[in-house]
Amino acid sequence: MIRPARHSDVSDIVKLLDSAVGGVQDSDQIAAWIDTPSTPVIVAVKGHDLTGAVMGRIIEDEAEIYDVAVTHDHRRCGHGQRLISAFLGHCEQHGVTSVFLEVRKGNQPALHLYDKLGFSLQGERPAYYANGESALVLGWSIS
């Protein structure tokens, strides 16, 4: 099931982000985002387990996806696609016409998914990550 995050999800979201993308957000930040309509946090839940999350920010007619994470056991099962599609749908309902994100240049599974969802290359940020890997900036627009 895909749904908006609840405060009871915060600790699971933090654990997920820590294991999947290196723990880039803290619990106070995520809790604040859950309370703010312009910072949607959407989760995937299977049974009682949180299996994925996407979060970002809406500013006027643009949005940025901050993080997408799916538990290791649920990758390549459609969770990421459903999460991002839900985020894009939320954005459309709030008047957003374009969405941006950054992704590691070497993250081929993510790049394939973003391409499948209609994202296109907008630019590159060389040596963006701590390990020297570049980030690709991808964009999505309402057609």
Q: How many structural domains are present in the chain?
A: 1
Answer whether 40's CB lies under 8 Å from 4's CB: yes
Please report, for the domain that includes residue 72, its CATH number: 3.40.630.30
pLDDT at 95: 93
pLDDT at 22: 66
Note down the domain range covering 43: 2-141
Mind listing the pLDDT tens digit for each residue in 75-124? 777 788 999 999 999 999 999 999 999 999 999 999 999 999 999 999 99
In this prediction the pTM is: 0.90
Q: Tell me the C-alpha distance between 37 and 96, whole Å.
A: 13
Amino acid at 86: A
Mind listing the pLDDT tens digit for each residue in 20-73? 776 677 899 999 999 998 999 999 999 899 999 999 999 999 999 999 999 877
Q: Tell me the C-alpha distance between 80 and 70, whole Å.
A: 7
Helix (H, G, I), strand (E, B) or coil at 87: helix
Active site residue ranges: 102, 114
pLDDT at 82: 94
- Number of other CB atoms surrounding residue 108 within 10 Å: 9
